[in-house]
Structure 1
Amino acid sequence: MALLFKSDVDRPDSWIPALRTALPGMEVRKWPEVGDPAEIDYALVWQPPEGFLASLPHLKAILSIGAGIDHLTRDPKLPRHLPLVRMVEPGLTSGMTEFVVMQSLFHHRRLLDYLDQQDRKVWRELAPVAAWQRRVGVMGLGELGADAVDRLVRLRFDVAGWSRSRRALPGAACFAGQEELPAFLARSDILVCLLPLTEETDSILNAQLFAQLPKGACVINVGRGEHLVEQDLLAALETGQIDSATLDVFRDEPLPPDSPFWSHPRVVVTPHIASMTIPETAAEAMAEAIRTLEAGGTPPGLVDLARGY
C-alpha cells in the first residue's frame, strides 16, 4: 500500500519520517513525486489541485491534514463516494484551545487598551471585571469547540456554547439551532467562532449578528475567513458596537497588504496559526484512521458530506 502526502504549507521534513514511523508497512510518497497514480491507496492532503484526487484510480480514502475540509469540498471533481476523514488529534485540539483561551484573556483583561496606553505613555488603571462576570460564547461545539469551552469554564468565565444540534457540556449553557441563536448572542461579551464552513455558516459573522451582541462585545474568529463579512465588522468597530477583534483567518490569504485590518487599532491579526498540526501526534492519528478503515470500522473525524463536517 502507498500513502501520498501533499501540502504546500506544512513541514514535509517532519511529516514524512513521522508517517513512516506510524505506518511501517506502508510506502509514503511526497508530492509531487506521485509515481504510478494507480498505486496510491490513501491521500493525506491540504489544498490539492482541482481534480487531482479524482485522478487516483484506486484511492480508498482521503485524509485532511487540517480540521477543516472546505479546501477539499470546493473541488467539483472530489470523489464524494470515498471516505473523507478530517484531522482529529490531541496536538491540534490543544493548540486551538491555547489560542482561544489566550485571546479571550487578552480581550477580557483589556490588553489592547493597555498597549494603547503604553504607546501614549499613560499610567492608568482600568476598571477590572471578574472572569465570572464576563460572558464568553463559543460557536461550534465539535472537538475543538468543546475543549475550548472546558478550559474557559475552568477559568471561571460565564460560558455558553451554540451549535446546529443540541449538546450538553459541563459548566456551560448550551444553545442550539437558529431559534436559540439570538439568546446566545445576547449573552456573549466575547464571541468565539469555531464553526465548520458550510452553506449555512458562510458569512454568518455579519451586521445582523453583530447587532445582536451586547454593545462593546469582542469577536474572535478562528473558524474560516468565509465566516466573516469583513466590511460589516469594520463598520461595527467604527460605531463601537464591536469593541475589538482577533482574526486568525481571512477570505484572502495571505492577507493583502492593503487590508485595513493590518493597521486597525482594535484588531489583532495572526496568519492562520491559531492551531497547527503536530506531525508526530497527527501522523499517529492518521495511521490509526487508516487501520480502522482497513478493518472496516469508522474512524474519528469521518465526515458526513451531507452536513459538510
Structure 2
Amino acid sequence: MTIAIISQNKQLQPWRDALLAIEPQLDIRLWPDIGNPEDIQFALVWNHPAGCFVPMKRLKTISSMGAGVDGLLADKHISDECQIVRLVDPGLASTMSEYLLAVVSAHRQHLGFYRTQQLKQRWSPKVPIPKHELTVGIMGLGQIGKAVATDFADSGFVVSGWSNSPKSLNGVSCFFGNEQLSQLLTNSKALINLLPLTSKTRGIIDQTLLGQLPHGALLINVGRGAHVNDEGLLSALSTGQLSAAFLDVFNQEPLDKTHPFWHQENLYMTPHVSSLTEPKAVAPQIIENYQRTISEQPLVNLVDKKAGY
C-alpha cells in the first residue's frame, strides 16, 4: 500500500523521514511526484491542492497532519467511502497552553501598550492586571481546549469554558449549547477561541458576539480564521469594545499584504504557529492508522464527517 504526503506549504521530507524511521519498507511518495495516482491508498495531508484526490481512485484513508480537518471536509472530491482521521498529540495541547499563557501574560503586563509607547517615546507605567480580575473564557472544550482550561485554572485564573455538549472540568465553570453561550461571554475579559470549524461555527466571532463581552475585553483566536468576521473584529477594536486581539489563524493564509489587519494598532498576529505538529511525535499514530487501513480495522481518531470534527 502506497502513502502520499501532500501539502502546499509544509516541508514534506521530515514527515517521510519520521515514517521511514519506524517502517523502512514503506512506499512513500511526496507531492507532486507521486507517480501513478491509482497506487495511492493512504494520504497524509495539509492544505492540499484542489482536485488532487480526483485521480486517486483507490484512496481509502486520509490523515490530516494536525488536529484540523476543515479543509478536508470541505473538499467535495473526497468520496464518502474514504475515511478521514486527525492527529491527536498531547504535545500539541502543551505547546498551545504555553502560547496562550504567554499571550495572556503579555496582555496582563501591558507589553503591547509599552511597545506602542516606546515608538512614541513616552514613559507611561501601568499596574499589571491581577489574575483574578482577568476572567478567561474558552470556546471549545475538546482535547486541547480541556487541557488549556485546566492549565489556566492551575495558574490561578478564573476560567469558564463553553462547548456544544456538556463537559465537566475541575476548577472550570462549564457551559454548553447556544442558550448558555451568553453566560460565558458576559463574564469573559479574555476570550480564547479553540472551536472546530463547522457550518455552525463559521463566522461565529462577529460584531454581535463581541458586543456581549465586557467592554475592553481581549480576544485570542487560535481556532480557525474562518471563525472570525474580519469587519466585525476591526469594528470592535476601533470602538474600544475590544482592547486588543491576538490572531494566529486567518481567513486567508498567508495574509494578503493589503489586509487592514497589518495596520491595526491593537491587533497582534503570529503566522499560525501556536501549536506546530512535530513529525517524529505523531509518526507512530500515522503508522498505526496505516496498518489499520491495511487490515480493515477501526481507525484511531476517526472524524465524524457529519459533525465536522
TM-score normalised by the chain length of structure 2: 0.94
Query: What's 1:192 paired with?
Result: 192
Q: Which residue of structure 1 lines up, in the alignment, with residue 225 of structure 2?
A: 225
CA contact (8 A) 1:90 1:281 kept: no
Q: For 1:1-309, what aligned pairs fall within 5 Å after superposition?
A: 1-309=1-309
Give structure 2 stretches of 5+ with no counterpart: none
Q: 3-state DSSP class of the match of 1:287?
A: helix
More displaced, 115-124 or 197-206? 115-124
What is the Cα deviation at residue 300 of structure 1?
3.8
**Once the two structures are superposed, what CA deviation does each residue of 1:60-85 show, in whole Å capped at 9, x if it has no partner?**
21101121111112211111222200
In structure 2, how many angstroms separate the alpha carbons of the residues matched to 1:305 and 1:123? 54
Q: Which runs of 5+ in 1 are unaligned?
A: none
Same amino acid, percent of matched pairs: 38
CA distance in 2, matches of 1:25, 1:80: 30
CA distance in 1, matches of 2:132, 2:22: 43
- Whether the 8 Å contact between 1:53 and 1:79 is mirrored in structure 2 is no
Distance 2:292 2:108 in 1: 43
Secondary structure in structure 1 of the residue aligned to 2:181: helix
Indicate if the aligned counterparts of 1:215 and 1:240 stay in contact, CA closer than 8 A: yes
Given residue 51 of structure 1, which amino acid in structure 2 is its aligned partner? G
Q: What is the Cα deviation at residue 272 of structure 1? A: 1.6
Quick one: distance in 2 between partners of 1:156 and 1:300? Answer: 35
Partner SS for 2:76: coil
**CA contact 1:7–1:48 (8 Å) conserved in 2:** yes
Distance 2:291 2:104 in 1: 38
TM-aligned CA deviation for residue 294 of structure 1? 4.2
Q: How many angstroms does 1:5 deviate by?
A: 0.5
Cα distance in structure 2, aligned partners of 1:49 and 1:275: 23
Taking the aligned partners of 2:130 and 2:192, their CA distance within structure 1 comes to: 19
Q: Matched residues in 1 for 2:73 and 2:198: separation? A: 10
Shift of 1:34: 1.3
* Superposed displacement of residue 88, structure 1: 1.2
1:251-276 C-alpha deviation (Å, 9 max, x unpaired): 12211112121121101011122222
Letter in 2 for 1:252: Q
The alignment partner of 1:262 has SS state of helix
CA distance in structure 1 between the aligned counterparts of 2:300 and 2:192, rounded to whole angstroms? 24
Secondary structure of the corresponding residue to residue 107 of structure 2: helix
- What is the TM-score of this pair, normalised by structure 1? 0.94
- TM superposition shift of 1:295: 4.9
Q: Tell me by how many angstroms 1:243 deviates.
A: 0.7
Q: Is the 8 A contact 2:7 2:49 kept in 1?
A: no
Offset, 1:188:
0.7
- How many Å apart are 1:298 and its aligned residue? 3.9
Distance 1:195 1:103, change over 3 A: same
Question: How much has 1:134 moved relative to structure 2?
Answer: 1.5
Q: Distance in 2 between matches of 1:92 and 1:295?
A: 29
Moved more, 13-22 or 284-293: 284-293
Check whether the contact 1:192–1:219 (CA below 8 A) recurs between aligned residues: yes
State the 1:173 CA deviation: 0.8
- Deviation for aligned residue 1:293: 4.2
Tell me how large the CA RMSD over aligned residues is: 1.7
2:8·2:49 contact (CA, 8 Å) conserved in 1?
no
